Amino acid sequence: FACSGAVDPYGFERSEDFDYESYEELMSEYLVVLTRRSIKWSKLLKGKSKVQKNVKLKRYVRKGIPNEHRAAIWMAASGAQDQLDKNPGYYQSLLGADHDSKLMDTICTDLNRTFPDNIQFRKTSNSCLLKSLYNVLLAYGHHNPTVGYCQGMNFIAGYLLIITKDEEKSFWLMEALLGRILPDYFSPAMLGLKMDQEVLGELVRAKIPKMWRIMADHNVSWTLVVSRWFICLYIDVLPVETVLRIWDCLFYEGSKILFRVALTLIHHNEALIQQAQSLPDICQIFKQITHGPIVDNCHAFMQRIFFDPGSLSTSTLTKLRVTCRSRIIAEES
């Protein structure tokens, strides 16, 4: 669909106070980067039906996947394409199965709350995505009855549909995210989500101790300030273009990227957070730090997330997850 000034390229309406001037300035720089990357990607993919994961591809992904290749690379990197190939017709069979009426009702309730500011999710739109969104969520709920449907999943499925424009691909990407990439974020107990918020706390304690101290002094739980970051994978938290760049890495490198983003936001705003006098102050500041020039410039921001937080190995993450998980289980029992 055509992108008019009041609507961004993905269908989101721009706010009334949208700063067109800085946006134009930023985009003119970013378009140069995009064009250069696009040429490199076309060369890389020329005549290839499959891409192999390697150091070069990882570097390319970190510098951003051009929109025309995004769906294909997400599918390949996450293993979703393999699953789709191995299970032809599976998605359709889920839609054809008997439906759980409770699941249908829960999904329907949330449909209209999904991206009210996006013209593609309106009944009046010619290419309305609401029916596709309903189908993807319903199919996933039947595929994974332990999870069924959970708030937040509508936003993830919505973003996948905006990018892939394809229900079946969106379903398999959702399956890759919820089944493999994110450790049980959406299970009924949300143990993985709670665990990763605690893990972030431990990483802050190790890497930005002053920040950890402030949070502890004001008795702020990490859940209070970062749960939306994790559960929505930064959707509606950071600008669309920045979220998509984060997702490029999420599908390729896994959930470690979510911590890099969080640590960079906290690290960059250390001085601001230190001014907080109370718990409400801190909550307000955490809402504030996801806006502004640092996150609008998605290319520079993505460079920072691999530099600012320093090293973050998978083994460190795995150890912290084990520790935090047992701590949460002990506290909840």
DSSP class of 122: S
8 A C-beta contact, residue 134 and residue 170? no
The boundaries of every CATH 1.10.472.80 domain in the chain are 191-332
Query: In this predicted structure, what is the pLDDT of residue 3?
Result: 53
pTM: 0.95
CATH class held by domain 191-332: mainly alpha
Distance CA 74, CA 111 (A): 25
**Domain 20-181 indexed as CATH 3.60.21.70:** no
Distance CA 13, CA 305 (A): 28
Query: In this predicted structure, what is the pLDDT of residue 2?
Result: 45
SS3 content of the chain, % helix, strand, coil (to 5): 65, 0, 30
Crossing angle between the packed helical segments 20-45 and 298-305, to the nearest 10 degrees:
60
**In tens digits, what is the pLDDT along the chain, a chain of 333 residues?**
445 578 999 999 998 888 889 889 998 999 999 999 999 999 999 988 788 899 999 999 999 999 999 999 999 999 999 999 999 999 999 999 988 899 999 999 999 899 999 999 998 887 799 999 999 999 999 999 999 999 899 999 999 999 999 999 999 999 999 999 997 899 888 999 999 999 999 999 999 999 999 999 999 999 999 999 999 999 999 999 999 999 999 999 999 999 999 999 999 999 999 999 999 999 999 999 999 999 999 999 999 999 999 999 999 999 999 999 999 999 988
Query: In this predicted structure, what is the pLDDT of residue 112?
Result: 86
Query: In this predicted structure, what is the pLDDT of residue 257?
Result: 97
The boundaries of every CATH 1.10.8.270 domain in the chain are 20-181
Angle at alpha carbon of residue 150, lines to 149 and 154, rounded to 5°: 85
Query: In this predicted structure, what is the pLDDT of residue 1?
Result: 41
